[in-house]
C-alpha cells in the first residue's frame, strides 16, 4: 500500500504505509550498508498510525491501534534507535499507559517545547508530559475546553462559546508548569461559524466565516483587521517561529504572511500536487528558510516534481524532475505520497502509491 509518512533519524529511515506497517531501513555510506533493518510492528494485529522522532532522547515513537479493541484506542511506544539498529524493536517500552486514549482522546508531540499533550476522553483530563523522560508534569481538569493550541512557551485554552454566543473565553498558560498567565474574552459574531483560532507568541489569529481575519496582540489589545477577500481561510498553517512569519496552504497554493496581515512572499514555482495539503508531502528546513514539496510542473506534465523554494523571497532554488526516457525516475515521481529531507545527509526521501521509497542525492 502507499507510503503515508517518512521520517529519518540520523542513519535510519522509517517508512510507514497506509496499511499500518512500518519498516526501518539503514542508510549507510556505501551501497552494501543500505537495507531493511526490521519491522516496527511488534505484533501481527498492530496498525501503526503515525511516527515521531524524539530528538530529546534519540528514539522513535510509534502511535498504534490494535484489532483487539476494534482499532479505537491509541497506544504509544518509545524505541531507542540503538535497538532499531540491533533489529530489536520489541525492546521498546509503552508510554502513557495510565491514559485512556480512545477517540476523541489524542496525543500530541511538541518538539519546540519538549512536551507531550494527552487527552483522556473517558475522564476529560488533559495531561502534559516531559518529552525527554516522559514524566507527568501537570494535569488540566476542565470540561468546558473546546481545544488547546501550543506555541513556544505557552498553551492557548479555547473554551466553548458563551451561552449568548457573543464571546469566546480564552486562557494562556505557561507550558512548563500550567500556571495561568492571562484570561480574557474575545468578542465574536453570534451567528458566524468560527473558522479558526490560532496562537503565535503574543499574537492571536481569529477568523469567522465571511468575516475579516483579526490579529490581536494579547499583551496590548491592539487589533489588526485583514479583509476576508485578501485573506481567505486556509486548510493548514505552519508557523515559522524563527522568522516571525506564517505559511498558509489553500487549495494548491502556498503563501507567507507577517503578523500585520501582509502577504510577504509569493512563490514563483511552487504549486502543490495535492490540493488537500497533506503536510507529509511538505518539508520545512530547521532554519525555516526553505520549503521542499511535491509539486505540479509548470508545463502541465502528467508527472510531478520535487521543488525547493526560498520561503523568504519565493525564488525557485532547485527542482527534481524525471529526465527524458528515464523510466526509473518517472516511476519514482509518479504520485508521490510522502516526502522527507534529511538535513544531515542532504538527501531527499520520497515514497509513492506503490509502497516504494526512493532516495535522491547529489
Cβ atoms 71, 20 nearer than 8 A = no
Question: How much is the mean pLDDT over the chain?
Answer: 92
Cβ neighbors of 155 (< 8 A, separation 6 or more) are: 117, 128, 148, 149, 172, 173, 174, 175
End-to-end CA distance of the chain: 28
* pLDDT value of residue 156: 92
Q: Is residue 23's pLDDT more than 90? A: yes
Residues 117-138, mean pLDDT to the nearest whole number: 96
Q: What is the largest CA-CA distance in the chain?
A: 67
Confidence of residue 32 (pLDDT cuts 50, 70, 90): low
Cβ atoms 38, 50 nearer than 8 A = no
CB atoms inside a 10 Å sphere around CB 303: 17
Residues 91-102, mean pLDDT to the nearest whole number: 94
DSSP letter at 301 equals -
Cβ atoms 319, 307 nearer than 8 A = yes
Helix (H, G, I), strand (E, B) or coil at 12: strand
* pLDDT value of residue 30: 64
Q: Is residue 70's pLDDT more than 90? A: no
Cβ atoms 257, 246 nearer than 8 A = yes
List of long-range contacts for 267-274, beta carbons under 8 Å, 24+ apart: 267/309, 267/314, 267/316, 268/309, 268/314, 268/315, 268/316, 269/295, 269/298, 269/307, 269/309, 269/316, 269/319, 270/295, 270/307, 270/309, 270/314, 270/316, 271/295, 271/296, 271/298, 272/296, 273/304, 273/336
Q: Is residue 34's pLDDT more than 90? A: no
Give the Å distances, CA to CA, from 142 to 119, 131, 157, 281: 11, 23, 10, 36
* pLDDT value of residue 221: 84
CA distance linking residue 286 with residue 17, whole number of Å: 25
Q: Name the grid cell of 306.
A: 520535487
Residues 214-272: tens digit of each pLDDT: 999 988 889 999 998 899 999 888 999 888 999 999 989 999 999 999 999 889 999 99
Cβ neighbors of 341 (< 8 A, separation 6 or more) are: 283, 285, 292, 347, 348, 349
* pLDDT value of residue 360: 94
Residues 316-327, mean pLDDT to the nearest whole number: 92
Residues 283-300: tens digit of each pLDDT: 999 999 999 999 998 777
Residues 347-359: tens digit of each pLDDT: 999 999 999 999 9
List of long-range contacts for 301-308, beta carbons under 8 Å, 24+ apart: 303/330, 303/333, 303/334, 304/273, 304/333, 304/334, 304/335, 304/336, 305/333, 306/333, 306/336, 306/339, 306/348, 306/350, 306/360, 307/269, 307/270
CA distance linking residue 197 with residue 121, whole number of Å: 22
254 class by beta-carbon count within 10 Å (0-12 exposed, 13-18 middle, 19+ buried): buried
Question: How much helix, strand and coil, in percent to the nearest 5, is found in the chain?
Answer: 5, 50, 45
Can you name the residues that pair with 189 across neighbouring β-strands?
none
CB atoms inside a 10 Å sphere around CB 218: 19
Q: Is residue 278's pLDDT more than 80? A: no
Q: Is residue 29's pLDDT more than 80? A: no
Confidence of residue 362 (pLDDT cuts 50, 70, 90): confident
Amino acid at each position: 500500500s502507499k507510503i503515508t509518512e517518512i521520517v529519518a533519524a540520523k542513519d535510519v529511515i522509517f517508512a510507514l504505509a497506509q496499511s499500518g506497517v512500518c519498516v526501518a531501513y539503514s542508510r549507510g555510506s556505501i551501497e552494501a550498508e543500505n537495507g531493511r533493518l526490521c519491522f516496527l510492528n511488534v505484533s501481527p494485529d498492530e496498525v501503526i498510525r503515525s511516527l515521531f522522532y524524539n530528538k530529546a532522547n534519540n528514539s522513535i515513537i510509534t502511535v498504534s491501534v490494535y484489532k483487539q479493541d476494534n482499532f479505537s484506542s491509541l497506544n504509544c511506544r518509545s524505541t531507542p534507535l540503538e535497538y532499531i539498529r540491533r533489529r530489536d524493536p520489541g525492546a521498546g517500552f509503552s508510554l502513557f499507559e495510565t491514559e485512556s486514549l480512545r477517540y476523541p482522546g489524542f496525543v500530541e508531540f511538541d518538539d519546540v517545547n519538549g512536551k507531550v499533550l494527552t487527552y483522556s476522553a473517558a475522564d476529560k483530563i488533559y495531561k502534559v508530559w516531559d518529552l525527554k523522560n516522559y514524566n507527568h508534569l501537570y494535569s488540566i481538569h476542565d470540561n468546558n475546553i473546546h481545544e488547546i493550541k501550543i506555541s513556544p512557551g505557552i498553551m492557548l485554552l479555547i473554551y466553548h462559546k458563551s451561552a449568548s454566543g457573543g464571546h469566546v473565553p480564552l486562557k494562556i498558560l505557561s507550558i512548563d508548569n500550567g500556571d495561568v498567565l492571562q484570561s480574557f474574552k474575545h468578542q465574536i459574531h453570534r451567528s458566524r461559524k468560527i473558522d479558526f483560532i490560532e496562537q503565535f507568541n503574543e499574537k492571536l489569529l481569529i477568523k469567522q466565516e465571511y468575516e475579516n481575519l483579526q490579529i490581536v496582540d494579547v499583551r496590548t489589545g491592539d487589533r489588526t483587521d485583514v479583509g476576508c477577500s485578501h485573506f481567505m481561510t486556509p486548510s493548514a498553517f505552519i508557523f515559522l517561529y524563527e522568522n516571525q512569519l506564517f505559511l498558509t496552504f489553500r487549495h494548491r497554493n502556498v503563501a507567507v504572511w507577517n503578523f500585520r496581515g501582509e502577504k510577504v512572499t509569493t512563490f514563483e514555482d511552487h504549486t502543490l500536487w495535492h490540493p488537500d495539503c497533506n503536510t507529509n508531502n511538505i518539508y520545512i528546513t530547521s532554519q525555516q528558510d526553505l520549503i521542499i514539496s511535491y509539486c505540479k510542473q509548470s508545463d502541465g506534465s502528467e508527472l510531478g516534481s520535487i521543488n525547493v523554494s526560498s520561503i523568504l523571497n519565493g525564488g525557485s532554488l532547485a527542482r527534481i524532475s524525471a529526465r527524458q526516457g528515464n523510466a526509473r525516475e518517472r516511476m519514482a515521481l509518479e504520485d508521490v505520497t510522502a516526502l522527507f529531507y534529511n538535513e544531515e545527509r542532504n538527501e531527499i526521501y520520497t515514497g509513492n502509491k506503490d509502497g516504494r521509497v526512493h532516495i535522491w542525492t547529489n
